[in-house]
Amino acid sequence: MDIKNILKQALEESFLHLGYSLEDLTLSFSNKPTEADYQCNSAFVLAKKHGQSPEVVANAIISNLKQDVAEVNFARPGFINFKITNKVLSQCLNNALSDERLGLKKLENTEKIVMDYGGANVAKELHIGHLRSPVIGESLARLNKLLGNTVITDTHLGDWGLQMGLTIAQLQEDGYIDGYFDQTKQNKQITLDTLNEEYPKASKRKSEDEVFREKAESYTKYIQDKLEPYWSVYNKIRDISVQRIKANYEKLNCYFDLWYGESTAADLVDEVVKIFEDKKLTKKYEGATIVEVAKEGENIPIEKKNPNDPQMYKNPMPPVYLKKRNGADVYDTTDITTIYQRNKDFSPNRIMYVVDKRQESHFERCFRAARLAGISTENQKLEFVGFGTINGTDGKPFKTRSGDTIKLEDIISLITEGADKKLKENGIKDSGDLALKIGVAAMKFGDLSNAPSKDYIFDIEKFSSFEGKTGPYIQYTGARINSLISKSNLAGSIENLCQLNLIDISDQDQRLIAINFLKLQESYFACVKENSLSSLCTALFDFASSFSKFYNNTRILTEKDEQKKNSYLMLCVLVLKAIKQGASVLAFEIPEKM
């Protein structure tokens, strides 16, 4: 039962009858929840148009309304207020309870979407800069799936760039891979720790040591040409890294359909370059192969404003590079070719990228190039969801005390410790991975409460609190209900009871839960439109808060009237299910106990 739609249709009929334009029809949740659930403010606009007073218009609309789900009231000077009847709210919640999806609708026009997020780099350690992409991406993927879209998730590893050549050159100099070049010699064991040492070393040298840099560049090209033994060393490094990346992503509840990388599209690069060449889109620039993507008037250097700001000299829309001077592929090459590969393999309606917003221009240029070449056509949406920086409580990018970038593994430890501290304060000894579950919820909720494009402050203390708008509060609300249900004598038969329409809404606290449930369901659709989970976080918090109010004011298990008690308990069951549905989109769990 779609209450809002019933009201909307009744309003539409009334409007048509009165000769009002449906374009002026608005219907939203009331901003005075004690007086009304929904409100229609159309009378103000219509009054102006038709030269009448809002009061006359509103009352005319009301007297032509035919519906029986709500009590309708006029409120000065021209509001139409709807208060849904208890009976209808009860029916609505009972319907939800008997449905696997809790009555949640699906999108009318569904799409096939390839989602690109995660984006860890092979050989480089995962750090805080890699936290938001899997967190936001995973939730957007789950949200789209829930609402009926077909979603293919691809982590798109960074595995084709200079870092690979740099690491191999360094490993070679430090004697790790001698056996690959000379069979009479031995290799030393390479672990993730080795890579964590060797890559930063190499990375530092590349700006100081010209010869080393050139060697690394050649090695990168050898890998891209699959030349032995470089190719074997490359695959070894890739395997070691990917194992660790997977383990870390899994701790964050992130799973991917595809563990492809930049390298996956490599075999298609020649084909793609040829498409550009055949369309006469390529140019040579200092030996490199480029494609101009600037539109008229765009390709002018920005005027110098601040001579110390290097950005100011940059061309706002530089060309994309298909090939470097030495023939190697670059970031542009692999991203453009990956669009080609995804279209070949999946023909999605949409490709969505969840990447640091500082990469926006790279994607804009790649998208333009793909369109110019016809690799992507206008009816395919190429969508960039850029995210902002994670700051510390001082408002500056979150760093370690010594000013270094924080490793992703250290973040996971930090959030786990934060949760562990709270558990101890509450007298709970952690049994296994509860602290991790809470920590992950704390961090995710803290992040996802913000629109992705915003920077946010990573405040573990605040995020881990069991009170206020936090992940642990949502979990705590669910855990409370779990314990309530287990103490009731209904525990074993809940699923059957869900089919029996036992909820009977009878007071204001319960009404508030019901309305917040409707808001929660609407929030999924706001989120999918906005590519942001922030509306869901807010709705989930309001929903949980309205439950807490009910829980504090109502004696549930000790209620003598059996029918009332069952109604209360089934309301609790619905709240738990709805919280779980929300949490599963935000990709954290609701523990049994907390």
CA angle (104, 475, 385) in 5-degree steps: 60
Q: How far is the CB of 155 from ligand ARG (least distance, A)?
A: 9
What is the phi/psi pair of residue 550, to 5°? -60, -45
> Considering beta carbons, is residue 398 or 524 the nearer one to ligand ARG?
398
3-state helix vs strand vs coil in the chain, percent to 5: 55, 10, 35
What does DSSP assign to residue 214? H
Q: How far is the CB of 399 from ligand ARG (least distance, A)?
A: 18
Give, as ranges, the residues between 59 and 118 that touch ligand ARG (CB under 6 A).
116
When asked if residue 335 is in the footprint of ligand ARG (CB under 6 A), the reply is: yes
Q: Using CB under 6 A, which of 156, 323, 357, 577 touches ligand ARG?
A: 156
Q: What is the spatial distance between Cα 573 and Cα 551, in angstroms, rounded to a whole number? A: 13
Q: How far is the CB of 174 from ligand ARG (least distance, A)?
A: 25
> Considering beta carbons, is residue 355 or 412 the nearer one to ligand ARG?
355
3-state secondary structure of 532: coil
Amino acid at 566: N
- Which tokens sit at 420? 């562990």
Give, as ranges, the residues between 271 and 330 that touch ligand ARG (CB under 6 A).
none
Q: Using CB under 6 A, which of 7, 93, 330, 355 touches ligand ARG?
A: 355
Q: How far is the CB of 380 from ligand ARG (least distance, A)?
A: 16
When asked if residue 353 is in the footprint of ligand ARG (CB under 6 A), the reply is: yes
When asked if residue 472 is in the footprint of ligand ARG (CB under 6 A), the reply is: no
The number of residues that bind ligand ARG (CB under 6 A) is 8
Q: What is the spatial distance between Cα 194 and Cα 187, in angstroms, rounded to a whole number? A: 13
> Considering beta carbons, is residue 116 or 509 the nearer one to ligand ARG?
116
> Considering beta carbons, is residue 355 or 434 the nearer one to ligand ARG?
355
> Considering beta carbons, is residue 245 or 460 the nearer one to ligand ARG?
245
Q: Which residues pair with 40 in a beta bridge?
A: 80
At what angle are helices 562-586 and 132-146 packed, to 10 degrees? 130
Q: Give all strands of the β-sheet with 320-323 in edge-to-edge order.
A: 282-285, 288-291, 320-323
Q: How far is the CB of 588 from ligand ARG (least distance, A)?
A: 24
- DSSP per-residue codes, 551-573: HHH---TT-S-HHHHHHHHHHHH
**What ranges in 433-470 are assigned the alpha helix state H?**
434-448, 460-463
Q: How far is the CB of 264 from ligand ARG (least distance, A)?
A: 11
Q: What is the spatial distance between Cα 498 and Cα 96, in angstroms, rounded to a whole number? A: 9
> Considering beta carbons, is residue 121 or 167 the nearer one to ligand ARG?
121
Q: How far is the CB of 114 from ligand ARG (least distance, A)?
A: 10
Q: Give all strands of the β-sheet with 70-75 in edge-to-edge order.
A: 28-29, 38-40, 79-84, 70-75
Give, as ranges, the residues between 419 and 438 that touch ligand ARG (CB under 6 A).
none
> Considering beta carbons, is residue 160 or 550 the nearer one to ligand ARG?
160
Q: How far is the CB of 262 from ligand ARG (least distance, A)?
A: 8
336: CB partners within 8 A, 6+ apart: 272, 320, 322, 366, 369, 370, 373, 375
Q: What is the spatial distance between Cα 21 and Cα 42, in angstroms, rounded to a whole number? A: 10
> Considering beta carbons, is residue 125 or 335 the nearer one to ligand ARG?
335
> Considering beta carbons, is residue 119 or 471 the nearer one to ligand ARG?
119
> Considering beta carbons, is residue 94 or 334 the nearer one to ligand ARG?
334
Q: How far is the CB of 239 from ligand ARG (least distance, A)?
A: 18
Q: How far is the CB of 63 from ligand ARG (least distance, A)?
A: 58
The helix/strand count (H/E) of the chain reads as: 21, 13
Give, as ranges, the residues between 111 and 150 that touch ligand ARG (CB under 6 A).
116, 119, 121
Which residue's C-beta sits nearest to ligand ARG?
119
Q: Give all strands of the β-sheet with 150-154 in edge-to-edge order.
A: 150-154, 112-116, 350-356, 381-387
* Count of residues making up the chain: 594
> Considering beta carbons, is residue 15 or 199 the nearer one to ligand ARG?
199
Q: How far is the CB of 159 from ligand ARG (least distance, A)?
A: 9
Residue with tokens 């609701």: 590
Amino acid at 40: C
Question: Which residues would be at the binding site for ligand ARG (CB under 6 A)?
Answer: 116, 119, 121, 156, 158, 335, 353, 355
